Amino acid sequence: MAKLLAANFKMNPRTAAEAVRLAKSYDKKDVVVALPFPFIATVGSVLKNAALGAQDIFWENEGAYTGEVSPIQLKSFGVRYVIIGHSERRALGETDVVVNKKVKAALSAGLRTILCVGEPLAVRRKGLAAAERFVQSQLATALAGTAGLKLTVQNLVIAYEPIWAIGTGRAAMSADAVAMAQFIKKFLKTKTHNLKPRVLYGGSVNAGNIGLFLSEPDIDGALVGGASLKIREFKKMILANQLIG
Ligand code: PGA
């Protein structure tokens, strides 16, 4: 299966015109462009090959939830992927329990989920086993009660994003990312879950280091923040992915 390259624009850029300019340059298959909500309709109307993505979701399909956006609404604009549980949302108060509700809602609505997990620096300093315990607990809660939802390699993608590597310019060593990707796959393959998800790496991925991650058999792609706002850089990353795929 080809590796997935997901661009997370976060709360960028400032205008829809700029979002269209970026997204059009990235309109290739095996690319996901995860946009701020206001740009989804406009960008969705120009993408032909890349998949349209959102960066969050609410867990109900409609109702009195001021300011929230529902799975059904996103689907009606052609959204295929949604990022859930990004550490920047968790830092604003999103708990594993909330992440779990969102994962279930997204999957029930037929949206592909990019579930983000990853440990903070204080945990990583204690070593790999501590980081694994942290990530395992995030996964177990986030995926609780999903047994009936027909999770497949297509609709469940895990993004391993160690918090200390996000936006810091300090990517994880590829060996550490591989060890965690293998751990995630092993944990989710157990009797209780029996899942075989793709695992992406995210955190300071750029054109210079993406090859290290993509050449690893257990890393199924990358989730890219800052570098996805730089057209030349992200296009190089798309090319690197095509060459490997
Ligand atoms: P970064 O962000 O590439 O800027 O480190 C990754 C992410 O937050 O998904």
In order along its 245 residues, the chain shows pLDDT tens digits of: 899 999 999 999 999 999 999 999 999 999 999 999 999 999 999 999 999 999 999 999 999 999 999 999 999 999 999 999 999 999 999 999 999 999 999 999 999 999 999 999 999 999 999 999 999 999 999 999 998 888 888 899 999 999 999 999 998 899 999 999 999 999 999 867 788 899 999 999 999 999 999 999 999 999 999 999 999 999 999 999 999 87
pTM above 0.85, yes or no: yes
Cβ 163 under 6 angstroms from ligand 1: no
Q: Please tell me the distance between residue 225's alpha carbon and the centre of ligand 1 in angstroms.
A: 4
Task: Give yes or no for a contact between 83 and 116, defined as CB atoms under 8 angstroms apart.
Answer: yes
Closest ligand 1 atom to residue 226 Cα is: 4
pLDDT reported for residue 244: 86
pLDDT reported for residue 192: 73
pLDDT reported for residue 193: 78
Gap between the Cα atoms of 232 and 11, Å rounded: 20
Task: Give yes or no for a contact between 143 and 189, defined as CB atoms under 8 angstroms apart.
Answer: no
The pair of structure tokens assigned to 8 is 């997370």
pLDDT reported for residue 150: 82
Gap between the Cα atoms of 219 and 230, Å rounded: 23
Q: Please tell me the distance between residue 184's alpha carbon and the centre of ligand 1 in angstroms.
A: 20
Question: Which of 204, 206, 229, 237, when mutated, tests ligand 1's pocket best, judged by the most ligand atoms within 8 Å of its CB?
Answer: 204
* DSSP annotation of 46: T
* DSSP annotation of 171: P
Closest ligand 1 atom to residue 166 Cα is: 5
pLDDT reported for residue 209: 96
Q: What are the residues facing 115 on neighbouring strands?
A: 84, 158
pLDDT reported for residue 50: 98
